[in-house]
Structure 1
């Protein structure tokens, strides 16, 4: 339980790192698919583990958003965290289910938005104890 509390106090760092890795994952995908196409002619899919990274990043970012939104003192930051995470989740789920065709680049907007908010929230909320950033 102590590790969970420690991670919750560093949720902006974890969230920013997860968002950056998610962004890099999304940015690298087209290049990796081109390389794979050269290696495996006729196959139109990506490795199974590549698709699971999306859900892993989404789960990690959910925890980071939960703890960061819980601790922030600015209402608009809390709304921003949940709004951007919701948009990111919808884009990823849409991509998995193929409901609506979207440009691949749309995923960059909520991802970079989460990176920005985590950095902003970390800069804004310098706590000397656990109570200064509590909901208020």
Structure 2
């Protein structure tokens, strides 16, 4: 398997993880409102639901790491890491309740990760030898 195939797969994994994370973030308020109505106003959520945030963050970390270390575009690694860093800060802030942030803020880095992985997947079209030449 050559470098291009692995990078393309890491971008697909990154796109998938970010998209699932986005769906998770959009669905959460609706699911908990429905659950609260069914349970008579309690605002608890299952423990495993909160672990999904960390799982998406870990999967996206490895996808960003692999894509960023194997891209030929010099700005893409910075864009991926800044987006992932912003996402991780928001998720960790939500877990530890460090400061009050709007819930919708999480959509920005998530959508950015999807866009940057899509861009990297589309424009990372070099042969293995050409990739090595571009990096030097």
State TM-score, norm by structure 1. Answer: 0.89
8 Å Cα contact 2:7/2:70 also seen in 1:
no
Q: 2:11 aligned with 1:12, yes or no?
A: yes
Aligned partner of 1:102 in structure 2 is 101
Cα distance in structure 1, aligned partners of 2:115 and 2:95: 26
Aligned partner of 1:85 in structure 2 is 84
Off by >4 Å, runs of 4+ in structure 1? 6-9
What number of residue pairs does the alignment pair up? 131
Cα distance in structure 1, aligned partners of 2:127 and 2:8: 11
Which sections of structure 1, spanning at least 5 residues, go unmatched? none
Q: 2:124 aligned with 1:125, yes or no?
A: yes
Moved more, 35-44 or 48-57: 35-44
Cα distance in structure 2, aligned partners of 1:7 and 1:37: 43
State TM-score, norm by structure 2. Answer: 0.89
8 Å Cα contact 2:10/2:66 also seen in 1:
yes
Aligned partner of 2:48 in structure 1 is 49
8 Å Cα contact 2:8/2:121 also seen in 1:
no
Cα distance in structure 1, aligned partners of 2:131 and 2:26: 34
